[in-house]
Amino acid sequence: MKRTLRILALLIVLAAAVFWLVAGANLGFTVNNQPKTIVDPVTGLEGTAYENVFVPGVDFLSVALFAAGVLTGASFLFRKTGTKITSQPSHQPHQE
């Protein structure tokens, strides 16, 4: 369980970093709408329209890092498995 949580945390960080890089690597906050300048074909006047896009920002990365940190921290709550310590008395009765 300990190893599983740590691997999952690593996968979250890697997936978020790759997605952030591929989607635009915005150094600001996450953007849901971007302005787009359009020109009216009849009058020739310029206007602004908003396009629905998702560009993840550093807040996206920080949430992914926080989630990975929580999983990593939770992995320390589990004991190490696979090692058994057996205690057997190794002393002999004292003879005089």
Q: Domain spans of the chain?
A: 2-75
Q: Which of 66, 68, 65, 62 is nearest to 29 (CA)?
A: 62
Predicted confidence at residue 68, as pLDDT, reads 95
Contacts of residue 86, defined as CB under 8 A and 6 or more positions apart, other chains included, come to none
The pTM of this model reads 0.66
Give me the residues of the chain with pLDDT under 50, please: none
Q: What are phi and psi of 2, to 5 degrees?
A: -60, -50
Q: Which of 68, 71, 54 is nearest to 15 (CA)?
A: 68
pLDDT given for residue 87 in this prediction: 67
Strand partners, 49: 36
CA distance 33 to 53: 6
Q: How high is the pLDDT of residue 72?
A: 93
Note the pLDDT of residue 58.
93
